[in-house]
Each structure stands twice: as structure tokens, then as C-alpha cells.
Chain A
Amino acid sequence: MAIIRRIKERLKKIALKKSMRRSKDTRLAKKPSAEEAKKEILGVQETQIEKAKFSHPEVAVSCMRRGMPKELPSHYDQDKIVLQVRDPWWIHAYWEIRYSTIERLRSEFKDEFDRARRLLRVYDVTDIIFDGNNARSFFDIQVNDFTNNWYIDTGGPGRSWCIDLGLLLPSEKFITIVRSNIVRTPLAGPSWITDEEWMIPEDMFARLYGMGFGLGRSSPVGKAWQERIKHLLSSGVSSPGVTSVTSPAKRAFQEKKFWLVVDCELIVYGATEPDAKVTVQGKPIALRQDGTFTLRFALPNGKQVIPVKAVSSDGEDERTITPIVTRETR
């Protein structure tokens, strides 16, 4: 039972709260309105059902490994930084710098190196061919020497990003140690670009959009949602956002109350000649090779009359013993 509760509690945690270890996620701090609270997080229920595929507890397995290391290497002896997209607003970077590279920089910059700060310089390179100097804008994040990955809030969907891991010297000069790949975050709402050949009026698109998310006429919040999208589309606001589709579900989770379950079973056992025929409550039962038998029953409230009759193999003799058992529960 404890396992079931643990699974449900974990689910609750995933659905209601997700805290980033290193960065603040301001989006999640937004409190959902009553209207929004009725919508479900995209994918929560799918996640729960997919999880049920793997519903088994942990068992310690002793695996024999001949001479194989058990842990992965901590680095791959490369200078590199890799960017990945997490969602329309957040990207993730992981990196590695060779010890020899650090040493080279240390000897090159000598005592400036010790006073330098290690930085992630995050460039907005949307729609340009980045040459290192022509970014639209950038912002810096300071990281310490032991960090090897970071989640970055880019502040807006649908843009391209590139990151330099580098040193900011005391003289304010920035030295790039290694440059990342370029990633593009997706839009968080419908595109502003329309296709001449496949045009439809904005309010029609708003309705189709809402319906696609299951917020059509049959949904209680559908109409309000459609109004909102219509308004956003026609008012020229960039990236209307689907943040409200990702609000927490108002699901009636089971309350965490103290609980106790008790049930009773009855074991009826006996022995006779191994070749005798035995019936219990009129039904024949099988004997073990040594003539013994054991029966196990769930014992509900009430009276159970249990005639046990044994007949010898030649049919000449018979014996009956009838235990009578009563259960009540207070």
C-alpha cells in the first residue's frame, strides 16, 4: 500500500511543483486563475499512464561484472559546450574544458587569470550569420569552476541562441574559450506568418486553434479561450503564448489520511488415509501424497459451516467433522 501512495505522491509532485536546482522558473510562480485551473497540463495524464507501464518497485539486483568499471567517465578530454532546447523559453548548456586548456590560459594571462571571472555569454543570433561580433544582443551569466551545466532562461520564444564559455578579464576583455552550436527555441503560440494560398480570417483561426487544443465548444472554458486568442492575434502582440494550457490540473487527488486495513482468512487443514476421498462443503478436494490437506479461505463476516467428510477408498468407512466459524467485525 505504501508503494501505491508513494507513486501517487510523486505524481502529485510532478503535476504541481517543479523546482529548478540552479535557476528560477518565474513562469511556474504564476498562480493559475480559476478558469485556467480547469485545464490540464499538457501530457500529465499521458505521463501517468506511461508510468503505469513501469509500475514495479525497486529490487536490488546484484550483477556480476568482470573487470568493468561501474561509473561513467567524468569527462571526455575535449573543449566543448553543447546547447539544447528545453522549451520555448529555456535552453540547457553543458560543457567541458581540458585541463591543458586551462593551464595554457593561465600561463598566457598570468595573474589576470586568477582575477578573471568565468562566464557564459549568451548571444541572440536570430536570423543572422553569426561571426562572433554581430549578435543582436547578449547577456552574461557567471559560473564557477566546478559547474559543468546550466539552465538558461532566454526570456522569449522563437529566437536563436549561441553561447560562448569564456573568461572576463579584469580589464573587461572577454576571451572565448569555446563556442557552442546554435539552437532555435520554438514559438509558444501560433506563427505570425500566414500563407497567401492558405488564408483564413483571424477569428476563424482562433477557433480552430482552440479546438485543436480540445478547447472547443464542448469545453466549458472554450469560448473564453477563443476570445483571448482572437484578441491577441488582432492586437499584434508577439507570441500569444500557450502558458494557460500548461496550468496545473484541478484533480481531486486522494487525501493523505491515516489508514488501516484489516482482513481475515481461515486455514482449514487435516489428514486422512492418502487414498481416501475427501469433500469440504460437498466439494471434492485433492490430498497431498501423505494424505494431508490445507485449504485457505477469505473469511467474510457471518457464519461458515464447514463439513469435512472423508470416505475410505473402498467406500466402506466414512467420517465427518464440521468446524463452525463465525466472524464479526466491530
Chain B
Amino acid sequence: MHKGYLCLILHGHLPFVRHPEHEDFLEEDWLYEAITETYVPLISVFDKLIQDNVDFRLTMTLSPTLISMLTDPLLQERYLKHINRLIELAHKEIERTSWQPNFQGLAVMYLNEFSKARETFERYNRNLVLAFKKFQDLGKLEIITCGATHGYFPLMDVCKESVRAQVKVAASHYEKTFARKPKGIWLPECGYYPGQDEILKDAGIRYFISDSHGVLHGTPRPKYGVFAPVYCRGTGVACFARDLESSKQVWSSIEGYPGDYNYREFYRDIGFDLEYDYIKPYIHPDGVRINTGIKYYRITGSDNHKETYVPAWAKEKAAEHAGNFIFNRQRQVEYLYDFMQKKPLLVSPYDAELFGHWWYEGPMWLDFLLRKIAFDQDQIRLVTPSEYLMENPRNQVIIPSLSSWGWKGYNEMWLQGSNDWVYRHLHAASGRMTDLAKIFPHADGLLRRALNQALRELLLAQSSDWAFIMGTGTHTSYAIRRTKDHLLRFDRLCEEIKTNSIDGDWLADIEYKDNIFPDIDYRVHQ
């Protein structure tokens, strides 16, 4: 008889980056890397589990912007070009390392991986969302939605209409993609402010996830800490809080698995290591070095000295760590079960990009973990939030605290010297959007297109990723440019709408470039 539940959540999100006006755009690589290194490996793991008849339950966010990019024909085409180039590079690497057998073995490994990525991509008709939909339809995966463009809600509570738009646009986009309504939402950055759940309830969403202190600092005190969900006072929307103990084992830079010396080193990529003339065709056309995904070294130690990666050792470690993870969860669950007199729920959310992209062996670890949970033990049961609520409908009612899972646990990551300037513009634009929606309740034709596009531009400007990148201080010019571009386009649209002088050509141009959410309805912004 199982003594506790484990809810593993993978949060898949990338900001909307699509530049049809350029042949080659550096930041689009974020998507291609994620496809090759995270999404395809995860899909392969799930496919194999199903093939081997292993039951599992996972929850996964696919953000609306990520889905939009994965289903966009231009980006799909560009991904194929990208993976073909990588396959070509892998071939060359195999040649170049003829006299270095341990490197050559790795080059062959990468060739196989890239070929597999291309094959999987084609097999799902270039639309990887279909794979995840398949897993959901088979009952193994519960896909939840996210803010339409991942806007950071706690810093949008002065313009709730925007929060409403973010949630509603996301919910209808989800429904169109998966032929069902979303049951849960991953709040961007787990950013919650009290009262936000009303908007979620309106959109039919039944639960969200918050960081631990969202519930632990809630009012009144939660009887079960983070080990059971709570209902929000007034709305009954459920809030699942992250268990830091289990998350830490994977996230932590001090005690977490990804830092093990046998695992692959992220920062030693041939894009940076190899001789310039050789690698030039595979890095940015301007000659700027970038990650290719081919990395030959393992972490080895805490200093700069790195040795060659040994896949067999890494695989062994991944199996060992999977076993260790379960062992710790079993101890945790046993202890809590006695303590609480109730089956505890452990909620462990992770960025999907952690698996494969950052922590190369992540998908392998996950595979070992899911198999071990299915066959090697019976104390822990994998569950999705919906399943948990169905089996445990009675939960405490509290008001969760304002919180996020970002740096320091509140809003500072997105509200600091480098990015606080954006909010006066975003809030002003939001106010104008609401006004427009009220002034034109039944727009048609060109006017309607302009209003819809205005909402698109506003949503794109609200992406919390821009403020995040500005906050990290590295490579900020792209993020700043995006914020300004979308706000300026919005401004111009507003002016043209108000003065009844809509420039049809220009509108068509930005509709083509910022083509997200084709079925958007500007009236949700109220």
C-alpha cells in the first residue's frame, strides 16, 4: 500500500522568438537547442516507456509561446536546417577526431543523437506538440497551460485586465491545441498575488502551483505545510506548493545531482573550444561563437581542469542518482505519513530545460526513475494534481501569500534597477488597451485586425523573460529591444486606431512578423 504521492512537474517554456525578416537569427537557436537537447530526448523516454508498458504519471507545462513556436511552419523548416547542419558537423567531427578514439566515440554518439532528433521530428510530422498530446490522450501526461506570453502576474496586479487577457488567451489557445480545456496552470515563475485566483476560476482553471512559502506563509497556517494542497479562500481554486526537499536534490548547486563530476560539463562546447576557421560555418554568421551542443568533457572537479566525458560512467551515475532520489522520497514519505497521519503529497517541479539541455543526463535519470518507481517499490505513487484532487477532495482553505520561485522568492528579479523602468510603459499600455476594448465593442474588418494586433503586441511586451534577461545582466540588448519594439508597435497601432488612419500595409507586415495567437480576440482585455 503506498504511503505517499509524488507529483513530478516539468515546466516547458520559451519566449516567442520568430524573425522571418532575417535569414538567420541567433536567438531562434534557443528553440532549436531545446528541441534537440530537451524535448526530443523527453519524447523518446516517454515513447519507450509506453512501448515497454511502464505506467507513469507526469505533469507538464507547455507554454502558449512554446506551443506556437513548435507548430510554426517557418520555425519547423528552420529547425530542419539547423539539425542538418549539426549532423554535418558531427560527421566532420568524427573525421577530425580520427586519432583521438575517446573523442571520436563521443562524436559518433552525437551523430546518433542528432540523427535521432531529426528522425523523431519528422516522425511527428515536424510538430512535437502532437507527441505530448498523444501522451496526454493516453493518460500518462497531464499538460497544463501557462500565461499567454509568460507575463509576470504579481507585477501586473495594477492592471488586472492584462492578467485576465493572459489567462484567457492561454486557455483558449490550449483548448484549440489539445481539444480539451486546461485543468491547471503553471503561473509564470510561480508568481502569485492574493486574489489572482478569481481570474483563474473565471477561466475554468482548477489549480495552480506556487513556491513553498506561498502556502507556508498563507493565512491561516496550513496544517499540512506543503504536503497537501490548499484551496484559495473565496474561489476554491487549489494551490499546490513546491516541496523544496525533493526539488533541491535536483536543482541544488551544492547537493544536487547535476553537479556530479561524471556528468557532462555544460560550458565546454566545441563552438567555443575549437579553432575559429573550422567552426565558423556552425556558429553565428557574424562570427560570434555559440553553443553547438557537442561537448566532450565531464565536470571532473570544481576547477577549470576537465577530462573527457565517459558515457558509461555517467549512465551509471544517473541510475545511482535515480535510486537515491527514490530512497530519499521513501524515507521522506514514511516519516511524513507517521507525522501527518495522512498520505503526504510531494510536489517537485522543474524547468524542462534542466533535463537534457543543462543536465545532459537528466532525461536518462528520469527514465531510470520512472521505471524504478513502477517496478522497484510500492510506497510512492506518481500522481497528477487532478488525480490527487479527485482522490482527496477535502482540503484546507487559506489565502496563499504573494510569492514566486524566482530569486529571493518575491518580485525582485523582475523589479530591480535594470528592469523597473518597463512597468510604467507596460501599465500605461495596458490601460489604453482596456480603453480601446471598451470604446470598440463590435469592431470589424481592418479595425478589428488592428485591435487584435494591438493586444498581441501588448502581450509580447509583457513577457517576463525580457525583464528576467535584463535582470541577469547578460545579453540584455535583445530583451530591451523586444520590449521597446512591441510597445512602440502598440503605441502606433493605438494612435492609428484613435485617429482612424490605420496603415494597412504596415499592419499586414507586423501581423506577419508577430503572428502569435491567430484567433485572439481583443475583447478579453477587460
Contact residues of A: prevailing secondary structure: loop
Interface centre among A50, A60, A87, A283 (most CB of B within 10 A): A50
Q: Collect the chain B residues with CB atoms within 8 Å of residue A199's CB.
A: 223
A195: min CB distance to chain B, Å: 4
A209 to B412, CA, bound (A): 23
Q: Are B253 and A44 in contact (CB under 8 A)?
A: yes
B103, CB-defined interface residue at 8 Å: yes
B69: min CB distance to chain A, Å: 13
Given A186-B402, A209-B225, A212-B241 in contact, is the A281-B98 Cβ separation under 8 Å? Answer: yes
Question: B473 touches which one: A1, A13, A45, A297 (CB < 8 A)?
Answer: A13
Q: Collect the chain B residues with CB atoms within 8 Å of residue A129's CB.
A: none
B392, CB-defined interface residue at 8 Å: no
Given A76-B428, A193-B220 in contact, is the A213-B405 Cβ separation under 8 Å? Answer: no
A184 to B96, CA, bound (A): 62
A296 to B96, CA, bound (A): 5
Interface centre among B215, B222, B290 (most CB of A within 10 A): B222
Q: Are A51 and B403 in contact (CB under 8 A)?
A: no
A207, CB-defined interface residue at 8 Å: yes
Interface centre among B245, B272, B402, B412 (most CB of A within 10 A): B245
A306 to B203, CA, bound (A): 70
A63 to B485, CA, bound (A): 11
Q: Are A44 and B213 in contact (CB under 8 A)?
A: no
Q: Collect the chain A residues with CB atoms within 8 Å of residue B398's CB.
A: 195
Q: Are A50 and B225 in contact (CB under 8 A)?
A: no
A225 to B213, CA, bound (A): 16
B328: min CB distance to chain A, Å: 7
A265 to B405, CA, bound (A): 46
B124, CB-defined interface residue at 8 Å: no
A190 to B226, CA, bound (A): 12
B265: min CB distance to chain A, Å: 10
Q: Are A190 and B420 in contact (CB under 8 A)?
A: no
Residue of A nearest to B285 (CB): A59
A1 to B149, CA, bound (A): 33
Q: Collect the chain A residues with CB atoms within 8 Å of residue B377's CB.
A: none
A92, CB-defined interface residue at 8 Å: yes
Selected interface stretch from A4-12, A104-112, A130-138: A4-12
Q: Are B411 and A84 in contact (CB under 8 A)?
A: yes
Q: Are A213 and B212 in contact (CB under 8 A)?
A: yes
Q: How large is the interface on B (under 10, 10 to 19, 20 to 34, 35 or more residues)?
A: 35 or more
Q: Are A297 and B254 in contact (CB under 8 A)?
A: no
B406, CB-defined interface residue at 8 Å: yes
Q: Collect the chain B residues with CB atoms within 8 Å of residue A255's CB.
A: 303
Q: Are A51 and B251 in contact (CB under 8 A)?
A: no
A79 to B412, CA, bound (A): 26
Q: Are A46 and B216 in contact (CB under 8 A)?
A: no
Q: Collect the chain A residues with CB atoms within 8 Å of residue B215's CB.
A: 212
Q: Are B407 and A41 in contact (CB under 8 A)?
A: yes
Q: Are B406 and A46 in contact (CB under 8 A)?
A: yes
Q: Are A41 and B221 in contact (CB under 8 A)?
A: no
Q: Are B97 and A46 in contact (CB under 8 A)?
A: no
A56, CB-defined interface residue at 8 Å: yes
A48, CB-defined interface residue at 8 Å: yes
Question: B99 touches which one: A52, A59, A217, A304 (CB < 8 A)?
Answer: A304
B357, CB-defined interface residue at 8 Å: yes
Q: Collect the chain B residues with CB atoms within 8 Å of residue A60's CB.
A: 286
Residue of A nearest to B212 (CB): A212
B134, CB-defined interface residue at 8 Å: no
Residue of A nearest to B243 (CB): A212
Question: B284 touches which one: A38, A44, A59, A251 (CB < 8 A)?
Answer: A59
A276: min CB distance to chain B, Å: 19
A212 to B409, CA, bound (A): 14
A254 to B253, CA, bound (A): 13
A34, CB-defined interface residue at 8 Å: no
A85, CB-defined interface residue at 8 Å: yes
B180, CB-defined interface residue at 8 Å: no
Q: Mark B401-425, 1 if CB is under 8 A from A, else 0.
A: 1111111111111011100110111
Question: A54 touches which one: B266, B469, B506 (CB < 8 A)?
Answer: B469
Question: B253 touches which one: A4, A40, A51, A64 (CB < 8 A)?
Answer: A40
A196 to B474, CA, bound (A): 50
Given A87-B412, A186-B403 in contact, is the A198-B216 Cβ separation under 8 Å? Answer: no
Q: Are A56 and B243 in contact (CB under 8 A)?
A: no
Q: Are B407 and A254 in contact (CB under 8 A)?
A: no
Question: B409 touches which one: A6, A59, A148, A246 (CB < 8 A)?
Answer: A246
B469: min CB distance to chain A, Å: 6
The B-contacting residues of A in range 1-41, CB under 8 angstroms, are 1, 3-4, 6-8, 10, 13-14, 18, 20-21, 38, 40-41
A127 to B227, CA, bound (A): 31
Q: Collect the chain A residues with CB atoms within 8 Å of residue B14's CB.
A: 53
Q: Are B473 and A10 in contact (CB under 8 A)?
A: yes
A86, CB-defined interface residue at 8 Å: yes
Q: Are B424 and A189 in contact (CB under 8 A)?
A: no
B186: min CB distance to chain A, Å: 14
The A-contacting residues of B in range 332-360, CB under 8 angstroms, are 332, 335-336, 339-340, 351, 353-354, 357-358
Residue of A nearest to B225 (CB): A208
A19: min CB distance to chain B, Å: 9
Residue of B nearest to A51 (CB): B472
A220: min CB distance to chain B, Å: 10
A195 to B95, CA, bound (A): 69
Q: Collect the chain A residues with CB atoms within 8 Å of residue B252's CB.
A: 40, 45
Q: Are B484 and A47 in contact (CB under 8 A)?
A: no
Q: Are A73 and B491 in contact (CB under 8 A)?
A: yes
Q: Are B212 and A217 in contact (CB under 8 A)?
A: no
Q: Mark B1-32, 1 if CB is under 8 A from A, else 0.
A: 00000000000001000000110011101100
A319, CB-defined interface residue at 8 Å: no
Q: Are B357 and A53 in contact (CB under 8 A)?
A: yes
Q: Collect the chain B residues with CB atoms within 8 Å of residue A1's CB.
A: 272
Q: Collect the chain B residues with CB atoms within 8 Å of residue A189's CB.
A: 217
Can you list 11 contacts pairing A with B, beta carbon distance less than 8 Å?
A1-B272, A18-B416, A49-B354, A56-B29, A68-B489, A72-B487, A149-B421, A205-B221, A207-B339, A212-B212, A213-B244
Identify the B interface with A (CB < 8 A): 14, 21-22, 25-27, 29-30, 34, 92, 95-100, 103, 154-155, 158, 194, 211-213, 215-227, 241, 243-245, 247-248, 251-254, 256, 266-267, 272, 275, 278, 284, 286, 288-291, 302-304, 328, 331-332, 335-336, 339-340, 351, 353-354, 357-358, 396, 398, 401-413, 415-417, 420-421, 423-425, 427-428, 465, 468-469, 472-475, 477-478, 481, 484, 487-489, 491-492, 506
List 17 additional A-B contacts (Cβ < 8 Å) besides A57-B289, A58-B477, A297-B96.
A4-B267, A10-B474, A41-B408, A42-B405, A49-B358, A52-B353, A53-B353, A70-B484, A82-B158, A82-B424, A149-B424, A184-B402, A211-B226, A217-B335, A218-B245, A251-B254, A304-B99
